[in-house]
């Protein structure tokens, strides 16, 4: 729906999916990319990292996109201008982040996105890209995972860029995903963020959906879980997608026959817990500060 509205130049809020680790944000983001592609959008899907600047992350993809648009035959010079703006944008961030050679043999557009201030340059760059897309009758979806890793300045620049897209009704949408701190971060950096974005919360699955997540894949192989087994997995996982995945995986490997009963679930629970402790909880625990570990222990002791 978002994609359809953007194509016909109706204003629509961009989406920022938020949820805890392992609830399925990345899976959803990939699915949304497929939906955008099916609607005829060009897509860019990137994942933010600690210590990787937004500009460096996006520039190569925007270059690729503009070259791609250049192959669509239409009158006008906006694509060429877009490349020039990208070129000057890269020139400006080079000063800050060191060499970024993405091979762009094009004259820069002086004064368009090279102030060195991301909150000015990124919106200008997005406008140039949006206008290029519009000229070629195309629409663009930029999908960014782990958005919370960006700095306040980068988030703010991104929000301002999307503000400009909306004001000018350019065919460029943003779909992001991040931890639940994201709306707060976005709100801190720009108070009008809430008017630009929807923040759908991604959480645990309801029991019926959790059952389908387990049942559909095994059904495709001619196997089934019985109802007790499904209840038992839901009781243990509370519909948390990553845990469903783990219990489903072990149950599948240990079941000798179909239907898979709750006895199989109980027999594998020990192993699943062990695997979660060694992997899922381990990596998260290791990243905590000593005081956070103490805090966790205190909470755990309260049951
Ligand atoms: N709707 C769903 N039904 C069943 N399983 C799911 C669903 N969505 C995600 N999963 C499973 O849950 C696990 C975690 O999903 P995903 O990686 O998308 O979470 P995430 O929210 O991106 O986590 P993180 O914040 O750690 O990146 C995956 O193994 C995936 O297979
Ligand atoms: Mg993820």
CA of 240 relative to ligand 1 center, distance in Å: 9
Identify the residue whose C-alpha is closest to ligand 1 atom 16: 24
**pLDDT tens track for 279-290:** 988 988 888 899
Residue 72, both tokens: 């669509």
Strands 140-145 and 42-47: parallel
> Over 80: is that where the pLDDT of 93 sits?
no
Question: Which residues lie with the beta carbon below 6 Å from any ligand 1 atom?
Answer: 19, 21-27, 205, 213, 241-242, 244-245
pLDDT in tens, 155-213: 999 999 999 999 999 999 999 999 988 888 887 777 777 788 888 999 999 999 999 99
- Name the percent of the chain lying above pLDDT 70: 95
Confidence of residue 75 (pLDDT cuts 50, 70, 90): confident
Asked whether residue 50 carries a pLDDT value surpassing 70, the answer given is yes
Ligand 2 centroid – CA 26 distance (Å): 4
Residue 274 scores a pLDDT above 90:
yes
pLDDT of residue 97 exceeding 70? no
Cβ count near 220 (within 10 Å): 8
Nearest Cα to 205, choosing from 239, 235, 246? 239
Phi-psi domain of 106 (left: phi exceeds 0; alpha: psi -120 through 50; beta: other): beta
- Closest to 252 in 3D by CA, of 229, 235, 276, 278: 229
Whether this prediction's pTM lies above 0.75 is answered by yes
Q: Please state the rounded mean pLDDT for residues 43-50.
A: 94
C-alpha R_g of the chain: 23
Mean pLDDT calculated for residue range 253-263 = 94
The alpha carbon of 116 and the centre of ligand 2 are apart by a number of angstroms equal to 31
Question: What is the pLDDT of the chain when averaged over all its residues?
Answer: 90
140 vs 170: CA distance, rounded Å? 9
Q: What is the pLDDT of residue 227?
A: 96
Ligand 1 atom at shortest distance from the alpha carbon of 28: 18
Q: What is the pLDDT of residues 102-138, one digit of tens each?
A: 667 777 887 788 888 999 999 999 999 999 999 999 9
- Name residues whose C-beta falls within 8 Å of residue 273's C-beta, 6 or more positions apart in sequence: none
- pLDDT, tens only, 113-122: 888 899 999 9
- Among all bound ligands, the one having the nearest atom to the CA of 27 is 1
3-state secondary structure of 10: coil
Q: Taking 80 as the threshold, does the pLDDT of residue 1 lie above it?
A: no
Q: What pLDDT digit, counting tens, does each position of 225-254 carry?
A: 999 999 999 999 999 999 999 999 999 999
| Burial track 226-261 (b if 16+ CB lie within 10 A, e otherwise) | beebbebbbebbebbbebbbbbbebbbeebeeeebb
Supply φ then ψ for residue 201, to 5 degrees: -90, 130
Ligand 1 pocket test, pick from 23, 249, 281 with the greatest ligand atom count within 8 Å of Cβ, gives 23
| Interval 16-23 mean pLDDT | 91
User: Token pair for residue 59?
Assistant: 């520039």
Mean pLDDT of 255-263: 94
pLDDT surpassing 80 at residue 5 = no
Quick one: pLDDT at residue 11?
66
pLDDT on residue 106: 76
Higher pLDDT, 45 or 189: 45
pLDDT, residue 182, reads 84
The token pair at 46 is 């990137």
> Percentage of residues in the chain with pLDDT exceeding 90?
70
Ligand 1, atom 6: closest residue by C-alpha: 241
């Amino acid at each position: 729906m978002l994609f359809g509205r953007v194509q016909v130049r109706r204003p629509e809020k961009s989406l920022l999916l938020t949820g805890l680790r392992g609830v399925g944000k990345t899976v959803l983001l990939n699915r949304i990319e497929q939906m955008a592609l099916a609607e005829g959008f060009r897509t860019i899907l990137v994942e933010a990292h600690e210590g990787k600047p937004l500009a460096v992350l996006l520039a190569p993809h925007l270059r690729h996109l503009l070259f791609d648009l250049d192959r669509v035959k239409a009158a006008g010079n906006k694509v060429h201008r877009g490349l020039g703006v990208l070129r000057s944008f890269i020139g400006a961030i080079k000063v800050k982040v060191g060499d970024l050679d993405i091979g762009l043999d094009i004259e820069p557009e002086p004064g368009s996105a090279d102030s060195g201030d991301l909150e000015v340059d990124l919106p200008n760059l997005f406008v140039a890209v949006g206008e290029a897309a519009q000229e070629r009758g195309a629409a663009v979806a930029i999908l960014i995972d782990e958005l919370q890793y960006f700095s306040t300045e980068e988030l703010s620049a991104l929000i301002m860029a999307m503000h400009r897209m909306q004001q000018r009704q350019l065919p460029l949408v943003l779909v992001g995903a991040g931890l639940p701190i994201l709306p707060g971060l976005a709100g801190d950096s720009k108070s009008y963020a809430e008017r630009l974005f929807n923040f759908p919360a991604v959480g645990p699955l309801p029991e019926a959906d959790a059952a389908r997540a387990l049942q559909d894949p095994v059904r495709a192989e001619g196997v089934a879980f019985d109802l007790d087994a499904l209840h038992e997995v839901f009781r243990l996982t509370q519909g948390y997608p990553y845990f469903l995945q783990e219990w489903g995986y072990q149950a599948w490997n240990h079941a000798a026959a179909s239907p898979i009963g709750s006895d199989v679930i109980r027999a594998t629970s020990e192993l699943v817990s062990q695997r979660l402790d060694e992997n899922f909880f381990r990596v998260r625990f290791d990243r905590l500060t000593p005081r956070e570990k103490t805090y966790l222990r205190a909470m755990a002791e309260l049951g």
